Structure 1
Amino acid sequence: MSMQPSNLVVTAPDTGRRLSTLDRWLPLWIGIAMVGGVGLGRFIPSISDVLASTEVGGISMPIALGLLVMMYPVLAKVRYDKVAAVTGDTRLLVSSLVLNWLVGPALMFTLAWTFLPDLPEYRTGLIIVGLARCIAMVVIWNDLACGDREAAAVLVAINSVFQVVAFSLLGYFYLTVLPGWLGLDTQGLEVSITQIAVNVLVFLGIPLVAGFASRWVGERAKGRAWYESRFLPRVGPWALYGLLFTIVLLFALQGEAVTSHPLDVARIALPLLVYFSVMWVVGMVAGKALGLGYPRSTTLAFTAAGNNFELAIAVAIGTFGATSGQALAGVVGPLIEVPVLVGLVYVSLWLARRWFAVDPNTAAAPKALDEARR
């Protein structure tokens, strides 16, 4: 996203981040993209067949392209020489792991069985969504809320590693083992570690390498001041373009199902709404209680609340079919997540002043001044 530099720090142009005109209207653009995608899928049903025909290894190439374009600008903004300082913050790392891999899946399991006890397909789809921790779109929400970019990059990378290792095991536990212990219906989930690893490699590995390479080359060729004041503002808006393009395609895939079963969508939406809100609030409160400060508390909250919907949808379609209830539940995930987390961006910015007593646009400025003076 394109962020305007702070007037306070001339030599560190990207430290004071303000929402551009393009970003301030983000809810409107997202709403238009969602409606356009649903309409496209509803009135041109063949669009799903076209997207399916472009799949390579279970990944739709147009959707992959949109996600890569969305991810690259934000990862190009990360100051990778500062990442080491993040890895030493055990409070942040441990709390993130607990929220993402213990609290999140358990909460979604509880909500799915509470709200959808009579709808096993949708319930299974929701549980799969809860297991897929966010590795992509969270960087957009974190950036808009003036969170810690370096911390977000580290947490996303850690989630990726855990996702490869833990997704299948947690799927087996929450769909088969735990329901059996509780005397509930069980449901199998067949998904290979290779499939998850490919998903992580495509949606995180490629833009991460590209973002690191562009900063490394740009700073050595022109310097950091040029890179952050000239290059980043030019590529920044492409994150929004990629986001909107991806949303249109995702909603086009199940536009007919969404409009044909509004009551089912509403029932799926309610536990998702509770889930995203609760996870975000728990993350923000935990960050505040641990003394992480506003930027890292915000990062903790959004990485806990966000989910890897592209993985959840891919697994649901690959295991149960594109027209299954599990796949519909996966698509409803971003239908609820996107507007809820966009709204929470504005809540974060409000809390920065009211609860953390800082200006989110200039929270990083004092540290940047120290760096500039050295």
Structure 2
Amino acid sequence: MSDESRIFWVNSNSDAPSTSRDEKTLLGLSVDDVLPSTTRMPLREQFTKHYSQIREWLTAHAERPGVTLLAMSADALHGAAFLAAKPDLVSTATIGRHSKADLRLKDDASLSLRHVALLLFPYRAPVRSCRYRLLDLRSATAFVDERGKRLRALEADGPAFVRVGNYTLLVFATIGADAPWPEDPDAGWAQIPARLYLDEVETDEKSNQWEAESDKAWEVDDLPSLSSSPTLVHNVAGPEMAVHELVDENETPYGELLITSSRGVATVILGRRAVQSGILLGRSRRCDAGRVLADRTISRVHLLIIEIAGVLYAIDTASSNGVFDHDARERTSLLKPGTSLSLGDVATVEWSAR
């Protein structure tokens, strides 16, 4: 069935360049024309080169609250997606190399099959912003922001630009009443507000672990003054590593997952911080309960469980054989006490609150 709230386009005639860089910064103002210098072309030049296509997409979907994501390189605009905001449910998209990915970027072998998820928060007027989260799905490389810093997740309600593998991703939130995009590329670039990056977690690797939490880098009173209203881009925690305890010391358990398959039964007890960061289920070693779900019909990354705006969701991460709620295949399901979901036809996941 066609879903007009989710629109995707992929340029099948494009190839991707190669890049690599990483560095540490606690807070930075975006430089107007810079992603890491190893991109073949600076960000501003990429934007202006492909501006006619970018403008076409942004203009076509400007009248509805939602988020537009565009994937580009120096050579081409490789793909685009639009998610319309819904009043009571998150909207989602999965980006990666897999043929089932909503936005398939297949020409870069450094990308995981299911690399990142875009989650658009529920939206209700008269709120003047659409908030979204870009979430790494425990890939090997995560993504890199404009400062060259490696992130596992970010949240924003305005533009944010990151590098995923060899692609630059541009994310624009719209509220249906935005200023029109001008025809001139330089004027279009000037219309984008500055991005101010705030680190709520630190993401340096330590002993091959992905991330360690830290205090917020800056308090509100410490922020530098800006000449225009910036987009605040928050670096937040991504999904927990499968080897981590999913309940912090001295934390009251929030609930538990009962996972059943022909290979056995597993109970995963979750704390509140874990569900806010995200839990991944699948047969990959980067997922929780991987041994119980080690069936070839279960995708490597099959299901994301995450709390968004105080509501717990189960999100199909572009799995091959689907997630079912009472025999209906669902992209997104609300997880309430007693909810039972089927992963393909070989496993069930049941949620119980504590």
TM-score of the pair, normalised by structure 2: 0.24
Whichever structure has more helix as a proportion of its residues is 1
Structure (1/2) with the larger strand percentage: 2
TM-score (normalised: structure 1): 0.23
User: Which structure has more RCO (C-alpha within 8 Å, separation ≥ 6)?
Assistant: 1
